[in-house]
Amino acid sequence: MLDINTVFAVVVATFILAGFVKGVVGLGLPTVAMALLALAMPPVHAAALLIVPSAVTNLWQFVAGPRGSRARLLRRLWPMMLASGAATWIAAGSLLADGPGIAGTALGIALALYAVVGLTEVRVGIPARLEPLLSPIAGAATGLVAGATGILAVPSVPYLQALELDRDDLVQALGLSFTVSTLALAGGLAQSGEFDATRAFGSTLALFPALAGMAMGQWLRYRIAARTFRRCFFVALFALGLHLAF
């Protein structure tokens, strides 16, 4: 059992690193935070801590783009967002089921799979005619994974990449998806009593190291090859996922 000072140091270092990753590659804050915090605490507590940093940074990522793009993406992606939010809220109780063991294993598997997809750089295009059918399915699957593990990127990131959006639209779409999942996760955890005023305050404090790390990552973004950084990120994520799973 870690003492309070060690836990505090782990939380601060985790959110600096998670914000840094997001600043460089545009995603990964909840993923990195859940992966590292779950080594020191039950996943449900880790998920509660990431609510405010994830919501604020991802909402900013969505609204920072062109206003016309926001409206267009909302019209296009609302079935996915609706399914994702509902499934996340419903599945949030899975983080409480049978203690941290099952949730930790599920988290590890989700992280490893996400890392494999990132390392292989698989790109699958989705025909426009299939999008009305696949969007709610992708949203529901994302919600189930988010509610059970706190990971918001599987399979939302591969799916949105498969829609072949341009760079700016993709960044905004990811921000929208992560924001919806985060808010739904907060609602589900609040309903179960796991996201109360005390944890909301702790999560708010975690926002500051996350923003500091994000600022450093944005500074570095233009000084290294993002492709190289992404590969290192996914290799480390795969190792963490295996550790948590086994």
What's the confidence (pLDDT) of residue 4?
81
Instruction: Summarize the confidence of residues 112-124 as an average pLDDT.
Output: 81
Grade residue 96 by pLDDT with cuts at 50, 70 and 90: low
Grade residue 64 by pLDDT with cuts at 50, 70 and 90: confident
At 71-92, the pLDDT tens digits run 999 999 999 999 999 999 999 8
Grade residue 184 by pLDDT with cuts at 50, 70 and 90: very high
Is the model more confident about 94 or about 115? Answer: 115
Grade residue 7 by pLDDT with cuts at 50, 70 and 90: confident
At 128-151, the pLDDT tens digits run 899 999 999 999 999 998 988 888
What's the confidence (pLDDT) of residue 69?
87
pLDDT surpasses 60 at 53:
yes
Domain ranges of the chain: 4-245
pLDDT surpasses 70 at 100:
no
DSSP letters along the chain, please? ---HHHHHHHHHHHHHHHHHHHHHHS--HHHHHHHHHTTTS-HHHHHHHHHHHHHHHHHHHHHTS-HHHHHHHHHHHHHHHHHHHHHHHHHGGGGGTTTHHHHHHHHHHHHHHHHHHHHHT------GGGHHHHHHHHHHHHHHHHHHHS---TTHHHHHHHTT--HHHHHHHHHHHHHHHHHHHHHHHHHTTSS-HHHHHHHHHHHHHHHHHHHHHHHHHTTS-HHHHHHHHHHHHHHHHHHHH-
Q: What's the CA gap between 145 and 192, in Å, rounded?
A: 18
What's the confidence (pLDDT) of residue 211?
95
CA 147 vs CA 38, 75, 77, 97, 127: distances in Å? 15, 25, 20, 11, 29
pLDDT surpasses 90 at 44:
no
Instruction: Summarize the confidence of residues 114-136 as an average pLDDT.
Output: 86
pLDDT surpasses 80 at 221:
no
Which pTM does this prediction carry? Answer: 0.87
Instruction: Summarize the confidence of residues 44-59 as an average pLDDT.
Output: 93
Collect all residues with Cβ–Cβ distance below 8 Å to 112 and sequence separation of at least 6. 237, 238, 241, 242, 245
pLDDT surpasses 90 at 171:
no
